[in-house]
Amino acid sequence: MKKTLASVLAVAAVAASLAGCSSSTSSTASSSTASAGSTASSQAASSAVSDASQESAEPAELSLCMSQIRWGISVDDNHMQQWVAELEKATNTKIEMIAPTHNDYMEKLNVLLASGDIPDIMIPQQAWDYVGQFAVRGYIQPLTQYVENDERFAVVKSFDNSIYQSGDDIYGIPVNSGNNKIFWFRNDMIEKYGLEIKETMTTDEFITELKKVDQSEAIPFSFPKHIVNFQIFYNAFGAYGGILPDENGVYYDGIQTQEMKDAFAFIKTLYDEGLMDAEFITNENSNMREKIYAGTAVSDVDYTSRYINYLQSASSVGAPTDFTPMYSLVGPNGDLGTLNESGNEAVCVSVDCENVDAAMNLVHYLFFTEEGRMLYTLGVEGVHYDIVDNVLTPREDAVAAGYAVGLSDLISGWAAVDIQSLGFQFADTETAQIDKNIEITNKANVSYVGPLIKIPMGKSTLYDENVATYNSNLYEMATKIVLGSQTIDEAYADYEQFWKSIQGDKMLEELNAQ
Amino acid sequence: MQVSKSRRVFLIVNAIFMLLVCLAIVLPLWMVVITSLSSNEVAAAEGFVFIPKGLEWTSYQAVFSSSGYTGAFIRSIGVTVSATALSMALTTTMAYALAQRELAFRKFFMNAVLLTMVVDGGIIPFYMVVKQLGMIDTYASLIIPMAITTYNLILMRNFFQSLPESLMESARLDGCSEIGILCRIVLPISVPILAAILLFYAVGHWNRYFEVIMFINSSKKYTLQVLLRQLIFQSEGDGTYSVQVNNFKMAVMVITMLPILALYPFIQKYFISGLMLGSVKG
């Protein structure tokens, strides 16, 4: 009896703990089969269903995957639900929310995609890398007809949509019209240390000025952990962290150039001299920003559209000051350029989406209409803010849940929102500040914009297979050089081996054969 | 009693060493608490505050001023309590069964259990299993897949094996069933190990973050840890979000620590002995 009972108990418990393993193989197979492609059939099905849903005027069901801070900015669930209700009402949809935290967004999205749970609408970060990869893997469907033929998205034609290209099709629509990162300096620190900050500065001037900062009092220059941002330094040396075409259209490896070695040497100097934040390798963007808000850092690298946010945040932590933009470093040969992050986030639609038209209606509303853009960046009146005496005033409970007026996103959006004629003012924000922010953003976009070169997927099998490894290897290599765990020569010796391992020369041949 | 010179030196060095160890634990905790009670200005200027400069509760007020926190807190408590209860029930019964020397295929079951410590399918197979079981976006996904921790199971099985067999034999002779033996004989004398494992499970379930992100889609089901982490890194994106400085972040840390800190004193007396007892026999 006891043997039987003990055996039953053990079998039940072991079976419970191992239950998962039994179905994993079959589920993987079925899921990958399901997600493996059939774009054409899903498109045909989707338009049929979408037509039907429009005729019946029933709300179209869509799953929308956006990071937690995109649903009205406040992370309070009550606020988020009311924001969703507004969006559903405006777009006649029923939305299934998928709202991972901002920092974990791509990890969650990758798991969803790989497991076949593809959200109808998703907004990948570093979209210039991921959109092409998702397209090649058959997760998302082409949006070429919308980009090229749909008048609602006509403004996107001014954007270099080839960064979202795979084969002959475009798979993503950029969320913002232009996003550039530049250098920001605190004015109180400029005065305190007598810094001479100009619109552009040579690399030598940059070092000279940063050296004037007393490092025991403040970090001269803070930087985030995202090594991809090193491109802002590469630009000054005419270097590019990737494979790119020369003036004749012949592809070459941007890493294997003297310009790139010079750029690495410059960044290493910044780090070794203590001018660059010693903690940069662990700095989230938020940590970097907090340092410059509080005045523990003199300068940093950030989006042009954050000027007003910088003013407000510095005030909120009791260290108010104005901020001066420095648009670009200028290298020994006169090269320059902002860190061009235009198209960092792009909207993609699942191959399995059954309501493509409804999905695109939602995309249009949220990112290409004034009303939608206001909802996206400002939230819902009476939930996130009130208009008090003609002034948009954030509600206290929303602020406690992270809400702040999203002027940055409003400025960088596709929809032409005329902030000056909205009929209300923004609390703690002067008209002149908004004008200045728009001017800074425009100047960066027009006069100093840096390169953004992405090779469309489908040109070379080897490139498609290795681009992710190539990028991560570059980030690792740059980190080792700057932190001093490898000399530049040692790093390049290792890189040579890496280049061979991914058949780099053959990859270039494939790209140049097109 | 005469204490030798070398012994005296050892005791002094030992005392200093232990004092340093204590300081290494207490000082960061002190800084966290003091920083959480500092004003925005002080926390922003100093980062971490060691010496109090005008304590205030504004950070805690900020955390609790939104209804979202209360809901998330209740959800976290609910998940932790139910998950810990299930974990304890399953771990105890399975450990008891595996501790029986007469159990058929005992070695096979034990190896199957140990295998899960070595082989990990990774997040995507894990996600697909949870999805196949229909648990995505349900609280069950935070409770059932993590119900048994192999390490805890082995610890408890070892403890059960160390109990005198004669106790169980006597009960069997008196006609007690296996469940009766487990509940009336084994569990009452296993309080130390139960308390230790309970704390392990409770802490594990309370701190759970990654699984919540992976298996839960809707924000209305997010637990406290997810909400608080998002608040800490709110200014991470390219948009505009209210800035959170260290006082707020440290207040968040204190709030997440408190429930477990509150639980610990009640089971502390069992804790160390439970661990030691479980580790005696392999």
pLDDT at residue A41, rounded to an integer = 36
What domains can be seen in chain A, in order of their start residue?
53-179+342-427 (3.40.190.10), 180-340+452-513 (3.40.190.10)
Say yes or no to pLDDT of B233 above 80.
no
Neighbours of A394 (CB within 10 A): 22
Q: Is B216 helix (H, G, I), strand (E, B) or coil?
A: coil
pTM of the model: 0.79
Q: Is B33 on the interface with A (CB under 8 A)?
A: no
Restricting to A residues 417-456, those with a Cβ less than 8 Å away from any Cβ of B are: none
User: Where residue B241 falls among pLDDT bands split at 50, 70, 90?
Assistant: low
Classify residue B25: in a domain, yes or no.
no
Q: Is B68 on the interface with A (CB under 8 A)?
A: yes
pLDDT at residue A29, rounded to an integer = 33
**Inter-chain contact B66–A400, Cβ cutoff 8 Å?**
yes
CA nearest neighbour of B137 among A161, A57, A96, A162: A96
CB-CB: which of B68, B127, B234 is closest to A115?
B127
Say yes or no to pLDDT of B89 above 70.
yes
CB-CB: which of B39, B116, B127 is closest to A17?
B116
Return the C-alpha torsion angle A285, A286, A291, A293, nearest 10. Answer: 110
Classify residue B20: in a domain, yes or no.
no
Q: Provide the ipTM.
A: 0.79
pLDDT in tens, B29-47: 999 999 999 887 788 777 7
Chain A nearest-CA distance from B13, in A, is 35
Chain B nearest-CA distance from A414, in A, is 15
If you average pLDDT over residues B86-114, what whole number do you get?
Answer: 93
Taking contacts as CB-CB distances below 8 angstroms, the residues of chain A near B96 are 6, 9
Q: Indicate the average pLDDT of chain B.
A: 86
If you average pLDDT over residues B72-82, what whole number do you get?
Answer: 93
> Which residues lie below 8 Å from residue B180, measured CB to CB, with a gap of 6+?
B171
Q: Give the pair of three-digit tokens for residue A202.
A: 């040579």
Classify residue B117: in a domain, yes or no.
yes
If you average pLDDT over residues B54-71, what whole number do you get?
Answer: 80
Domain that holds residue B271: 65-280
Lowest mean pLDDT among A214-228, A325-339, B2-16, B215-229: B215-229
The Cα A485–Cα A469 span in angstroms is 21
Helices (H) and strands (E) in chain A, counts: 20, 18
**Inter-chain contact A111–B214, Cβ cutoff 8 Å?**
yes
DSSP string, A113-128: HHTT---SEE--SSHH
If you average pLDDT over residues B130-157, what whole number do you get?
Answer: 94
Restricting to A residues 132-191, those with a Cβ less than 8 Å away from any Cβ of B are: 176, 179
The Cα A511–Cα A477 span in angstroms is 24
Q: Is B60 on the interface with A (CB under 8 A)?
A: no
Classify residue B79: in a domain, yes or no.
yes
**Amino acid of residue B226:** V
Q: Is B165 on the interface with A (CB under 8 A)?
A: no
Q: Is B117 on the interface with A (CB under 8 A)?
A: no
Q: Which helix (H) or strand (E) holds B33?
A: helix B5-36
Say yes or no to pLDDT of B280 above 60.
no
CA nearest neighbour of A478 among A267, A300, A283: A267
Q: Is B51 on the interface with A (CB under 8 A)?
A: no
The stretches of A321-379 forming alpha helices (DSSP H) are: 356-368, 370-378
Q: Is A81 on the interface with B (CB under 8 A)?
A: yes
CATH number, domain of B176, equals: 1.10.3720.10
The pairing of strands A165-166 and A391-394 is unpaired
Residue of A nearest to B116 (CA): A18
Select the more confidently predicted residue: B61 or A480: A480
The Cα A275–Cα A289 span in angstroms is 17
Domain tally for chain B? 1
Classify residue B175: in a domain, yes or no.
yes
Residue of A nearest to B101 (CA): A3
Classify residue B11: in a domain, yes or no.
no
Q: Is A97 on the interface with B (CB under 8 A)?
A: yes
Counting one residue from chain A and one from chain B, the pairs whose CB atoms sit within 8 A come to 256
CB-CB: which of B93, B106, B243 is closest to A290?
B243
Classify residue B263: in a domain, yes or no.
yes
pLDDT at residue A65, rounded to an integer = 96
Restricting to B residues 208-237, those with a Cβ less than 8 Å away from any Cβ of A are: 213-214, 217-220, 222, 226-227, 229-237
CB-CB: which of B63, B217, B226 is closest to A101?
B226
pLDDT at residue A46, rounded to an integer = 40
**Inter-chain contact A285–B105, Cβ cutoff 8 Å?**
no
Exposed/middle/buried for A389, CB within 10 Å: 0-12, 13-18, 19+? exposed
Say yes or no to pLDDT of B26 above 60.
yes
**Inter-chain contact A285–B235, Cβ cutoff 8 Å?**
yes
Chain B nearest-CA distance from A499, in A, is 29
> Which residues lie below 8 Å from residue A497, measured CB to CB, with a gap of 6+?
none
CB-CB: which of A69, A98, A319 is closest to B217?
A98
Classify residue B13: in a domain, yes or no.
no
- Residues of chain A with pLDDT below 70 are 1-56, 514
Beta bridge partners of A122: A65, A348
CA nearest neighbour of A276 among A299, A295, A251, A294: A299
**Inter-chain contact A81–B65, Cβ cutoff 8 Å?**
no
Restricting to A residues 336-395, those with a Cβ less than 8 Å away from any Cβ of B are: 341, 344-345, 377
The Cα A411–Cα A165 span in angstroms is 26
